[in-house]
A and B are shown apart, each in its own frame.
Chain A
Amino acid sequence: DAGVTQSPTHLIKTRGQHVTLRCSPISGHKSVSWYQQVLGQGPQFIFQYYEKEERGRGNFPDRFSARQFPNYSSELNVNALLLGDSALYLCASSFKGEYEQYFGPGTRLTVT
């Protein structure tokens, strides 16, 4: 079975631009979570969606938004990019939110 997939793998954007990151969960999983991992630190929770509804939100500004589609795939959108948004963005899927979360390979975003 395919694992969690994310696209794109790498992305370079300029300050002020907008970015959309995509994630497809493991088949049968209904929950998708997004995390930001800055170099040298542990992942920080951004959002969790379960059955297409937002279930939780971390301490991130409103520039960050997400949604989950009927097929349980998800998009993370970041507006007005800042240099500090440069990070590895990880998507994780789980059957339910509190179950083990399986991570995708991540999207490395560089903001210049």
Chain B
Amino acid sequence: AQKVTQAQTEISVVEKEDVTLDCVYETRDTTYYLFWYKQPPSGELVFLIRRNSFDEQNEISGRYSWNFQKSTSSFNFTITASQVVDSAVYFCALIQTLTGNTGKLIFGQGTTLQVKP
């Protein structure tokens, strides 16, 4: 079975602190994609990153960075020098690509990040 677990329900930090959002996944497929989405209070899910299962290189985009470790089935997301505008719910998601490719995104429960000024 496929599953995405985001153990942190809520995180609260003060502006300029670094924060890491954890994501652990389960899948039997050898080929899959992992995603992070941001959902601000407006409700629209904003795509942040896609990572395929064969690419374990870490990625940095501005203040955002992602650490993908296949050995621990984790795909963690770090925000450096957090800002109030980073306050949102963040979702990690998984999609399988080979067996029964339905294009189904499987989401974690989400982590609510509150950045206080």
Count A-B pairs with CB separation below 8 Å. 74
* Binary flags per residue of A41-54, CB closer than 8 Å to B gives 1, else 0: 11111001010000
In this complex, how many residues of chain B approach chain A with their Cβ under 8 Å: the count is 27
How far, in whole Å, are A35 and B42 apart by their CA atoms in the complex?
17
Q: Are A56 and B43 in contact (CB under 8 A)?
A: no
Query: Which of A42, A99, A100, A105 is close to B44, meaning CB atoms less than 8 Å apart?
Result: A105
The verdict on A100 contacting B35 (CB below 8 Å), with A42-B110, A88-B43 known, is yes
B35 nearest CB neighbor, chain A only? A100
B112 nearest CB neighbor, chain A only? A40
Which residues 80-112 in A have Cβ within 8 Å of B in the complex?
88, 90, 92, 94, 96-106, 108
Using a CB–CB distance below 8 Å, which chain B residues touch chain A?
Answer: 4, 33, 35, 37, 42-47, 50, 91, 93, 95-97, 100-110
- Taking CB atoms, residues of chain A closer than 8 Å to B109 are 41-42
Query: What are 9 residue pairs bridging A and B, where the CB atoms are less than 8 Å apart in the complex?
Result: A33-B103, A33-B104, A41-B109, A42-B4, A42-B108, A92-B45, A97-B101, A98-B95, A103-B46
Q: Are B43 and A106 in contact (CB under 8 A)?
A: yes
| A58 lies within 8 A of chain B by Cβ | yes
